[in-house]
Amino acid sequence: MKLVRWAVAALLCAATLAGHAQDSFPNKTIRIVIPYAAGGGVDAAARLVAQALGDSMGQSVIVEAKPGGNTVIGASTVARATPDGYTLLLTGGSTMTLLPLTQAKLAFDPLKDFAPVGMVSRLPFFLTVSSTQPYKTVKELFADPKTKDGSLAYASNGVGSMAHVGTEMLVQSAGARMIHVPYNGFTPAISDLVTGRAVMVMADLAPLSGQIKSGGLRPLAVASQKRSPFLPDVPTLAEAGFPGTEYEVWLALYAPAGTPPGVLKRLSGELEKALATPAMREAFAKLGHESDFAGPEAIRQRIQAEQKAFAPAVRAAGLAATTN
pLDDT tier for residue 6 given thresholds of 50, 70 and 90: low
Residues 130 and 106 in one domain: no
64 in helix, strand or coil?
A: strand
213 lies in some domain: yes
Residue 164 belongs to domain with CATH number: 3.40.190.10
User: Are 138 and 127 contacting, i.e. CB atoms less than 8 angstroms apart?
Assistant: yes
Lowest mean pLDDT among 122-131, 168-177, 251-260, 312-321: 312-321
Number of domains in the chain: 2
Tens digit of pLDDT for each residue in 159-169?
888 899 999 99
By the 10 Å C-beta count (0-12 exposed, 13-18 middle, 19+ buried), 114 is classed as buried
Domain boundary among 222, 238, 266: 222
227 lies in some domain: no
Q: Domain of residue 289: give its range.
A: 29-123+249-316
How large is the average pLDDT for residues 118-125?
A: 94
Q: Quick check: 131 pLDDT over 80?
A: yes
16 lies in some domain: no
Q: Quick check: 18 pLDDT over 60?
A: no
Residues in the chain: 324
Residues 63 and 97 in one domain: yes
109 lies in some domain: yes
Tens digit of pLDDT for each residue in 29-73?
999 999 988 887 889 999 999 999 999 999 999 999 998 888 999
Average pLDDT of every residue of the chain: 90
**Long-range pairs of 315-320 with CB within 8 A, sequence gap ≥ 24:** 316/168, 316/172, 317/164, 317/165, 317/168, 317/180, 319/101, 319/102, 319/159, 319/160, 319/165, 320/101, 320/102
229 lies in some domain: no
In this prediction, residue 16 carries a pLDDT of 47
User: Are 271 and 121 contacting, i.e. CB atoms less than 8 angstroms apart?
Assistant: no
Residues 37 and 83 in one domain: yes
pLDDT tier for residue 129 given thresholds of 50, 70 and 90: very high
Residues 52 and 132 in one domain: no
19 lies in some domain: no
End-to-end CA distance of the chain: 55
Residues 257 and 209 in one domain: no
In this prediction, residue 23 carries a pLDDT of 67
49 lies in some domain: yes
Closest by CA position to 220, among listed 239, 248, 207, 243: 239
User: Are 138 and 241 contacting, i.e. CB atoms less than 8 angstroms apart?
Assistant: yes
Residues 191 and 217 in one domain: yes
Q: Cβ neighbours of residue 223 under 8 Å, at least 6 residues apart?
A: 124, 125, 126, 127, 166, 170, 202, 236, 237, 245, 246, 247, 248
Residues 257 and 275 in one domain: yes
**Predicted model pTM:** 0.82
Phi-psi region at 148: left, alpha or beta (left = phi > 0; alpha = psi -120 to 50): alpha
Residues 119 and 258 in one domain: yes
Residues 79 and 217 in one domain: no
User: Are 165 and 249 contacting, i.e. CB atoms less than 8 angstroms apart?
Assistant: no
The full DSSP string for 127-194 is: EEEETTS---SHHHHHHSGGGTTT--EEEESSTTSHHHHHHHHHHHHTT---EEEE-SSHHHHHHHHH
